Structure 1
Amino acid sequence: MTFIAAFLGWTLDAFDFYLLYHSASNLSFHFNLLYENFLIIINIISITAEFQMKPSDIATSITVTLLLCPVGALIFGILADKYGRKYPLIADIILYSVVELASGFAPNFHVFVALRAIFGIAMGGKWGLGAALAMETLPLECRGLFSEILQQGYPTGYLIAAIFYYAVIKTLGWRAMFWVGSFPALVVVYIRFFVPESKAWEKTRESRRSNTFNELKKVIKDHCLKIIHTTLLMASFGFASHGTQDLFPTFLKIQLLFSPEDIAITTVIANIGSIIGGTICGYLSQYLGRRKMVVISMIFAGAFLPLIAIPVNKSLVTFGAFAGACGILPAHLNELLPSRYRGTFPGLTYHLGILIASSSTQIEALLGEAFPKSGEQKHVNFMETEISPVEDIEVV
């Protein structure tokens, strides 16, 4: 039940986060964000001068969310190591559910960005708490498989967001997507009554009454190289994943002129591939080791990336999206970093790495604006501007 709670929390967290990517072009229309290539796609006739922004401004809200994630990871991580995993997790879920609901009522783009900043704090706390709670309840011999099943909550959330986009966006608009995104609050009831506190945390409960910050300083000093290593590892994952996922729906719509139905189908297939690949990698990591499996999965992901970034037809784009995603994370980070502070350090290094990579979406959008494709289809060439740096990161 603990694992199910962590999986549901991470799935719904990803669902909330990826609503923005699927809604990006619709947000551009609603907030009258001005960009000449968007005019061709969504036929904006009159634009309010006050909100003359570009697609890179939409990307700013994504960057702001990722920038604040380490803050949430640190705050909720310290609370989890001091007071237990369960109740800080409940508080975290309530916070991001409330913020997600409020995002659907944002009166202008600036309020929307402010709400996404607060959402970043809540999102930052979720991964570390859920991963620690889940990994501490599982026996060592099956952590690899269940670690990757847990991480597949992320593409599952993306998949649900894609399906919901297809079903809702034309009739109810982007705001309804964020209202439904507040449903994770219902998971709180499940956690409160059916999920026990971590036994690993309870065993060391008495010893945690000492000065937490002094102990944190000592742990950072003793494990400095491990913390740097895991942060850089997560940064490479961040550039690879956010570099190929965040603007993927926008790329399909603007550059390939996909319909909402085609976008939904392609992203659903891509995330089914991610779920299958990730689960297989998690199982194989039990026998090949975590590091070797990470290297193998990244090589395969890089090999299929050109099918997405240099598209020939819809079938190849769909196949490349299906085949190009897999990896190992929760178990690897929880095994590398000090067990006494599993609530703090896995989540903190995870989001510090993502923080380093947080500018990837905005860089792509800015490059796409600076170097649009010439010819009849004057739309932003997002994916061509990202392929080389992403492949370099994956090889490293």
Structure 2
Amino acid sequence: MNLIALIAALVYALVFNFFPAPLANWRTLFVIGVLPALLVVFIRSNVPESPVWEQQQQRHRAAGISPWQSIWQAISSRPFLFIYVIILMTAFNCLSHGTQDNYPTFLQAQLKIGVTGTTIITAIANVGAIIGGTLFGYYSQRWGRRRAIIVACCLGIIMIPLWSGWLKLPNISLLYTLPIGAFLLQFMVQGAWGVVPVHLNELSPNDVRGTFPGFAYQLGNLFAAQIIFAQALLAANMGQNKIPNYTAALGIFSLGAFVAVMILTALGREARGIEFIKTDNDVEFSTSEQPA
């Protein structure tokens, strides 16, 4: 995801710096953004299904159970797990979208940074995100999923003042401090996110592991979608002279999202090291606790 965001930042700079004026607009970016969807054809044709999914499909066909029936059975038999994961994913999506989506707007609308500067800072932030997600995801195997997420969030909170422009170092321009803050904060944000794919799959019921994580994630994404509008509204209300105060809005929302992710993660279970190929009742939310 962050690799795509990094590429998008570079495409943004290309379009607005080198395309003629009639084409330098959001419509051109939208058309270019559709092109990667063509990769679906390659993936669908060449990437095999996982052995776990194939095993589940064989069992469902043998039992005469449709995919929707299996999903409903999994949800109705584990309602607290389902609700917990949706709320957790809502908090995570508030964290990622709340620290990424309005950041270029903050750079341009409040700080009046141009296309090139916005591209450079955004690209640096996404490089940090890629590195952070990779490292925290890797070390979560040693530290435990919940511990890795909580550590990333704690460190991320420390980075908020530098990332949001609230911390201004004497005799040093924000053009130098913001890229550092953006790199470090996204390192921690996506460090926490780097644990999510495996953690979410480990918490998921074995019989719908191919569907449950994506379903819960997208519902969380849906519920978190309003955070961008809320941030923009708060920034406008806190601003002066028609200049929005994204420094305060981004800082408040990111702090809240970090804290929410930490609390929800701590309240959840650690399922590191479970065996995915088991019988349906082997993987339950109430019995998957393992030492972190």
CA distances 1:137-175 after superposition (whole Å, capped 9, x unpaired): xxxxxxxxxxxxxxxxx1111110100101112423132
Question: Matches of 2:41 and 2:90 in 1, distance apart?
Answer: 34
Residue of structure 1 in register with 2:59 after alignment = 207
CA distances 1:186-210 after superposition (whole Å, capped 9, x unpaired): 3134224421232222223232231
Question: Matches of 1:215 and 1:197 in 2, distance apart?
Answer: 18
Alpha carbons of 1:319 and 1:220: their partners in 2 closer, same or farther (altered >3 Å)? same
Question: Matches of 2:58 and 2:225 in 1, distance apart?
Answer: 38
Alpha carbons of 1:185 and 1:274: their partners in 2 closer, same or farther (altered >3 Å)? closer
Moved over 4 A (4+): none
SS of the residue aligned with 1:387? helix
Alpha carbons of 1:383 and 1:239: their partners in 2 closer, same or farther (altered >3 Å)? farther
Is contact 2:70–2:208 with CA below 8 Å preserved after alignment? Answer: no
In the TM superposition, residue 311 of structure 1 has moved relative to its aligned partner by 5.2
1:385 equivalent to 2:232? Answer no
Question: Matches of 1:168 and 1:162 in 2, distance apart?
Answer: 10
- 1:345 paired residue among 196, 209, 212: 212
In the TM superposition, residue 244 of structure 1 has moved relative to its aligned partner by 1.4
CA distances 1:203-246 after superposition (whole Å, capped 9, x unpaired): 23232231444433321122222222221211221222211111
Equivalent AA in structure 1 for residue 205 of structure 2: P
Alpha carbons of 1:185 and 1:213: their partners in 2 closer, same or farther (altered >3 Å)? closer
Is contact 1:311–1:317 with CA below 8 Å preserved after alignment? Answer: no
Is contact 2:153–2:258 with CA below 8 Å preserved after alignment? Answer: yes
Residue of structure 2 in register with 1:190 after alignment = 42
Alpha carbons of 1:263 and 1:311: their partners in 2 closer, same or farther (altered >3 Å)? farther
Alpha carbons of 1:175 and 1:212: their partners in 2 closer, same or farther (altered >3 Å)? closer
Question: Matches of 2:212 and 2:55 in 1, distance apart?
Answer: 19
In the TM superposition, residue 251 of structure 1 has moved relative to its aligned partner by 0.5
Alpha carbons of 1:240 and 1:189: their partners in 2 closer, same or farther (altered >3 Å)? closer
Aligned residue pairs, count: 240
Residue of structure 2 in register with 1:167 after alignment = 14
Is contact 2:53–2:210 with CA below 8 Å preserved after alignment? Answer: no
How many percent identity over aligned positions? 37
Alpha carbons of 1:389 and 1:365: their partners in 2 closer, same or farther (altered >3 Å)? closer
SS of the residue aligned with 1:241? helix
- 1:222 paired residue among 77, 94, 97: 77
Question: Matches of 2:69 and 2:50 in 1, distance apart?
Answer: 23
Question: Matches of 2:40 and 2:253 in 1, distance apart?
Answer: 40
- Correspondence list, 1:42-81, <5 A: none
Residue of structure 1 in register with 2:2 after alignment = 155
Output the TM-score relative to the length of structure 2: 0.77
In the TM superposition, residue 371 of structure 1 has moved relative to its aligned partner by 2.7
Equivalent AA in structure 2 for residue 340 of structure 1: D
Equivalent AA in structure 2 for residue 271 of structure 1: N
Question: Matches of 1:180 and 1:336 in 2, distance apart?
Answer: 36
Alpha carbons of 1:168 and 1:296: their partners in 2 closer, same or farther (altered >3 Å)? same
Structure 2 spans left out of the alignment, 5+ residues: 169-173, 264-292
CA distances 1:53-91 after superposition (whole Å, capped 9, x unpaired): xxxxxxxxxxxxxxxxxxxxxxxxxxxxxxxxxxxxxxx
Question: Matches of 1:233 and 1:277 in 2, distance apart?
Answer: 20
- Correspondence list, 1:199-348, <5 A: 199-209=51-61, 210-309=65-164, 310=166, 312=168, 313-325=174-186, 326-327=191-192, 328-348=195-215
CA distances 1:244-273 after superposition (whole Å, capped 9, x unpaired): 111100110011110100000000000101
Equivalent AA in structure 1 for residue 32 of structure 2: V
Alpha carbons of 1:204 and 1:371: their partners in 2 closer, same or farther (altered >3 Å)? closer
Equivalent AA in structure 2 for residue 272 of structure 1: V
TM-align CA RMSD:
1.8
Alpha carbons of 1:185 and 1:247: their partners in 2 closer, same or farther (altered >3 Å)? closer
Equivalent AA in structure 1 for residue 7 of structure 2: I
1:369 equivalent to 2:236? Answer yes
CA distances 1:7-28 after superposition (whole Å, capped 9, x unpaired): xxxxxxxxxxxxxxxxxxxxxx
Alpha carbons of 1:348 and 1:383: their partners in 2 closer, same or farther (altered >3 Å)? farther
In the TM superposition, residue 341 of structure 1 has moved relative to its aligned partner by 1.1
Alpha carbons of 1:257 and 1:383: their partners in 2 closer, same or farther (altered >3 Å)? same
In the TM superposition, residue 314 of structure 1 has moved relative to its aligned partner by 1.6
Question: Matches of 1:205 and 1:344 in 2, distance apart?
Answer: 12
In the TM superposition, residue 385 of structure 1 has moved relative to its aligned partner by 2.0
- Correspondence list, 1:74-113, <5 A: none
Output the TM-score relative to the length of structure 1: 0.57
Is contact 2:74–2:207 with CA below 8 Å preserved after alignment? Answer: no
Alpha carbons of 1:217 and 1:269: their partners in 2 closer, same or farther (altered >3 Å)? same
- Correspondence list, 1:133-144, <5 A: none
